[in-house]
């Protein structure tokens, strides 16, 4: 058989003396690796030409450039072409099929091949591709099968998908699909078959490379997104209380809450439901805001409706130098307008650290309910009133004095209209109405609240003793009402305010000492001592809104021999306060949840100071603004004469702890109240 140029080589060999193929692989052009293989290796994989397996040689001719065969001439074009040696003469369709089938069966028996293959160029059920026998080519010099053998100068040309995929995976390929489809239409289809296989492989390799590039792009994108989120904590749409800036301390938002009262750092009374016209305290903390001793912040507090409308807005600037604390808190009081529709609302705080430019925002929800009462503000008896919260308060008067009754109604403006009615009354110690008047108010105004201060003249024959002033307010727009009362005393003519009648005394409103952790310090305004039918009756009253039966503690110091040189000196435990005014043989302690509804009676057994022993107890009657106790004189060892006393108060701040003295009646330095026994 003559040798002819190999039709599957990369190209013709350039030679004047030979007509041969160049012997190189047509897929990798003799380099052993295609461009796609090199791209795979660029990303860390291992790959080689899947046709020549890295040898760079044509697999048809083995790199020789020629094979055994014959040269044919195209009748139409006159061109010559090389074909391999055929195994037999062509016959008609039926004869050829029968002959070839018989011969193929013989070859299978000779080679021990018992697989059930189809004699067509289609894949069988096991994924094995078989070459057609009818117009097959003699490929005995080269083996394309994935595990077949060469025998008898023929090859069945089976391509196992599984074995090829395994071989490619071991060389660094992943994914993709490879196919081989030998032609059965023409004796000269060898070249086109190889080109088709190469094209499909290049396409698969391109898919693999594209997936690798896509993976790298996704990884790089995730890195960029992570960096952006580090610099912008709100990038994912979730509010956060930490805002980072490189090289600077981190602003963090601490506790935030709506409250009914705030006393200090993390000392507040939380509340989530409020009434129309009620005051809401918005407590908020900014952490890590001290920069070399300077704290420079702005708190922007807002109450926002569900539709986004801002109901109330307040800004609280903070600028402190030389500060030693790392964090700061504010508690702005915000009045909920009386015409606010009931429903859910949001309280938000936006904090800006001016030293770093960092800003953080927090919010919390609360509810507003309809108010059935007019909210009352300050109520006081006064010598003089000059305007809104501008007055001179006094709680002790003489017959013939003029008394101004100052009272406030809060959040009563309805779209610029205020329509109120103030009903003021003064009652004697026996509960009889002594004086009264009605003050109507109907006006347009921009302010939310209103105050009235009618005046009264105390009759010259008014009996001495404790009096009660009451103000009832009606809002004519809503129909809501509210009321409030305050006590004052009327002294007999030519009597001092601290020694009134049979043992009464008053104290100014607002002179109680404030205490950290106590919302409102108890403020003593009235005390009375009466001896009747062998009993001592002690009555103590406080300024409105300052008394609590569960927290207010009262101690009555009793000087039964009316000699300050005997008994416990003064009114405090150390015996240093008012020691020249009173010496107590007994003390009566009542109020707060520590004592419950019983007053504890103790006798002094010192010196040294502050040594007492309990000798008895007595029931206590509580009022909205104070308490009263009745003690048998026999318990005190008194059967005649009089008793001096002073009252002090404090507030319970823990299970067993109390504040120091917050108020004294009569005030420190003044003589005690004197009670005379009635005969």
Residue 196 has pLDDT above 60, yes or no: no
**Per-residue pLDDT averaged across 351-374, rounded?**
89
Q: What is the pLDDT of residue 200?
A: 56
Average pLDDT estimate for 479-503? 68
pLDDT at 103: 46
Reduced to 3 states (helix: H, G, I; strand: E, B; else coil), residue 192 is helix
Token pair for 69 = 């065969």
Q: 387 and 292 in one domain?
A: no
Residue 43, pLDDT score: 63
Same domain, 45 and 74: yes
In degrees rounded to 5, what are phi and psi of residue 613? -130, 135
Give pLDDT, residue 50: 80
- Judge whether 351 and 299 are in contact, CB under 8 Å: yes
Lowest mean pLDDT among 242-251, 391-400, 454-463: 242-251
Q: Which of 467, 396, 389 is nearest to 428 (CA)?
A: 467
Q: What is the pLDDT of residue 15?
A: 57
Highest mean pLDDT among 290-294, 368-372, 543-547: 290-294
User: Bridge partners of 387?
Assistant: 390
Report how far residue 439's alpha carbon sits from residue 422's, in angstroms, rounded to the nearest whole number: 5
pLDDT classification of 454: cutoffs 50, 70, 90: very high
pLDDT of residue 175: 35
- What's the CATH number where 258 sits? 2.60.40.3880
Q: What is the pLDDT at residue 532? A: 81
- Say whether both 365 and 380 belong to one domain: no
Site of tokens 């001495």 = 464
d(CA 628, CA 614): 20
What per-residue confidence (pLDDT) applies to 410? 87
The mean per-residue pLDDT over the stretch 382-394 comes to 87
Note whether 483 and 470 are within 8 A (CB): yes
Last residue of a domain, one of 369, 384, 418: 369
User: Is the same domain home to 515 and 470?
Assistant: no
SS3 249: coil
Q: For residue range 74-120, what is the model confidence (pLDDT) as tens digits? A: 554 444 454 544 444 444 444 444 444 444 444 444 444 433 343 33
Q: Compute φ and ψ for 39, nearest 5 degrees.
A: -65, -40
Out of 5-19, 134-148, 602-616, the most confident range is 602-616
Identify the pLDDT of residue 39.
67
* Higher local confidence (pLDDT), 463 or 139: 463
Q: Tell me: do 544 and 469 sit in the same domain.
A: no
Asked whether the bond before 607 is cis by omega within 30 degrees of 0, the reply is yes
Mean pLDDT across 250-275: 89
Domain range for 669: 504-676
Give strand ranges (E) for 370-416.
375-387, 390-393, 396-397, 402-410
Which of 206, 231, 256 terminates a domain? The answer is 231
Indicate if 443 and 381 belong to the same structural domain. yes
Mean pLDDT of the chain: 75
Asked whether residue 145 falls in the same domain as residue 178, the answer is yes
Over range 560-585, report the average pLDDT.
91
Which of residues 528 and 500 earns the better pLDDT score? Answer: 528
Structure tokens of 574? 């150390």
pLDDT at residue 493, rounded to an integer: 61
Rounded average pLDDT over 163-169: 39
Burial profile 403-431: b = 16 or more Cβ within 10 angstroms, e = fewer: bbbbbbbbbbbeeeebbbbbbbbbbbbee
Q: Which are the contacts of 283, defined by CB distance < 8 A and separation ≥ 6?
A: 255, 256, 257, 258, 259, 262, 268, 329, 330, 331
Position 640 scores a pLDDT of: 63
Within a domain: residue 236?
no
Q: Which range among 47-56, 157-166, 414-423 shows the weakest confidence by mean pLDDT?
A: 157-166
Residue 122 has pLDDT above 50, yes or no: no
Last residue within a domain, chosen from 203, 231, 259? 231
pLDDT in tens, 610-649: 899 999 999 999 988 899 999 988 888 887 668 999 999 9
Number of domains, the chain? 4
- Cβ contact 28:34 at 8 Å: yes
| 247 in any annotated domain | yes
**What would the mean pLDDT of 594-620 be, rounded to a whole number?**
91
Tell me, yes or no, whether 338 lies in a domain: yes
Residues 205 and 148 in one domain: yes
Tell me the backbone φ, ψ of residue 175, rounded to 5 degrees. Answer: 75, -175
Whether residue 495 lies inside any domain: the answer is no
Please tell me the predicted confidence (pLDDT) of residue 90: 40
Based on the fold, state whether residues 266 and 342 are members of the same structural domain. yes
Q: Within a 13 Å sphere around the CA of 156, how many CA atoms are in the beta-carbon half? A: 29
pTM over 0.85: no
pLDDT band, residue 356 (cuts 50/70/90)? very high
Q: Are 225 and 260 found together in one domain? A: no
Of the two residues 296 and 210, the one the predictor is more confident about is: 296
Residue 237 lies in a domain: no
Least confident of 104-113, 400-409, 542-551: 104-113
Q: Which CATH number do you get for residue 515?
A: 2.60.40.1190
Verify that 379 and 477 share a domain, yes or no.
yes
- Is residue 98 domain-resident? yes
Average pLDDT in the 57-82 region?
65
Q: What pLDDT sits at residue 13? A: 65
How much is the pLDDT for 48?
Answer: 82
pLDDT, residue 677, reads 64
Average pLDDT over residues 463-485: 89
% the chain with pLDDT above 70: 70
Are 355 and 319 in the same domain? Answer: yes
User: What pLDDT shows up at residue 588?
Assistant: 96
């Amino acid at each position: 058989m003559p040798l002819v140029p190999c039709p599957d080589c990369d190209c013709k060999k350039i030679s004047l003396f030979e007509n041969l193929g160049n012997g190189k692989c047509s897929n990798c052009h003799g380099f052993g690796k295609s461009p796609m293989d090199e791209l795979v290796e660029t990303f860390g994989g291992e790959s080689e030409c899947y046709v020549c397996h890295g040898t760079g040689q044509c697999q048809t001719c083995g790199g020789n450039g020629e094979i055994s065969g014959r040269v044919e001439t195209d009748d139409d074009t006159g061109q010559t072409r090389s074909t391999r040696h055929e195994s037999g003469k062509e016959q008609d369709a039926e004869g050829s099929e029968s002959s070839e089938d018989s011969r193929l069966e013989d070859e299978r028996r000779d080679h021990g091949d018992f697989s059930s293959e189809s004699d067509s160029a289609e894949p069988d059920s096991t994924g094995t591709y078989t070459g057609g026998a009818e117009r097959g080519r003699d490929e005995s010099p080269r083996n394309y099968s994935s595990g077949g053998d060469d025998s008898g100068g023929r090859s069945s040309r089976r391509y196992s998908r599984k074995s090829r995929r395994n071989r490619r995976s071991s060389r660094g390929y992943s994914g993709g699909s490879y196919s081989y489809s030998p032609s059965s239409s023409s004796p000269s289809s060898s070249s086109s078959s190889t080109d088709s296989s190469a094209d499909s492989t290049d396409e698969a390799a391109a898919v693999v490379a594209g997936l690798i590039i896509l993976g790298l792009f996704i990884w790089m994108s995730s890195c960029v997104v992570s960096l952006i989120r580090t610099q912008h904590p709100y990038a994912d749409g979730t509010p956060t209380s930490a805002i980072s800036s490189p090289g600077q301390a981190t602003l963090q938002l601490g506790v935030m809450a709506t409250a009914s009262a705030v006393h200090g750092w993390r000392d507040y009374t939380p509340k989530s439901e409020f009434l129309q016209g009620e005051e809401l305290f918005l407590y908020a903390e900014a952490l890590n805001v001290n920069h070399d001793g300077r704290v420079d912040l702005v708190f922007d507090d807002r109450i926002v409706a569900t539709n986004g409308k801002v109901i109330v807005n307040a800004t609280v600037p903070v600028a402190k130098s030389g500060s030693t604390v790392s964090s700061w808190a504010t508690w702005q009081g915000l009045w909920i307008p009386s015409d606010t529709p009931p429903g859910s609302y949001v309280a938000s705080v936006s904090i800006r650290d001016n030293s770093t430019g960092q800003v953080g925002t927090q919010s919390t929800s609360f509810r507003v309910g309809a108010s059935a009462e007019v909210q009352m503000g300050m109520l006081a008896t006064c010598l003089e009133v000059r305007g809104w919260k501008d007055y001179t308060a006094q709680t002790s008067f003489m017959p013939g004095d003029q008394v101004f009754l100052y009272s406030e109604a809060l959040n009563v403006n309805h779209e610029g209209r205020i329509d109120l009615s103030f009903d003021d009354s003064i009652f004697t110690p026996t509960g009889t109405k002594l004086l009264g008047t009605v003050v109507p108010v109907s006006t347009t105004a921009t302010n939310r609240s209103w105050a009235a201060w009618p005046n009264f003249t105390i009759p010259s024959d008014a009996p001495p003793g404790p009096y009660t002033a009451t103000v009832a307010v009606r809002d004519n727009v809503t129909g809501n009402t509210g009321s409030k009362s305050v006590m004052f005393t009327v002294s007999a003519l030519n009597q001092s305010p601290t020694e009134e009648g049979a043992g009464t005394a008053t104290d100014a409103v607002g002179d109680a000492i404030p205490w950290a952790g106590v919302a409102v310090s108890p403020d003593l305004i009235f005390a009375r001592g009466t001896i009747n039918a062998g009993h001592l009756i002690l009555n103590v009253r406080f300024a409105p809104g300052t008394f609590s039966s569960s927290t207010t503690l009262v101690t009555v110091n009793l000087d039964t021999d009316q000699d300050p040189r005997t008994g416990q000196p003064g009114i405090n435990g150390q015996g240093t306060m008012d020691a020249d005014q009173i010496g107590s043989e007994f003390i009566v302690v009542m109020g707060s949840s520590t004592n419950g509804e019983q007053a504890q009676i103790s006798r002094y057994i010192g010196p040294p100071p502050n040594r007492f022993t309990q000798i008895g107890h007595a029931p206590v009657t509580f009022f909205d603004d104070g308490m009263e106790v009745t003690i048998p004189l026999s318990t005190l060892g008194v059967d005649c004469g009089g008793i001096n006393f002073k009252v002090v108060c404090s507030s319970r701040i823990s299970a067993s702890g109390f504040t120091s003295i917050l108020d004294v009646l009569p005030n420190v330095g003044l003589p005690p109240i004197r009670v005379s026994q009635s005969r």
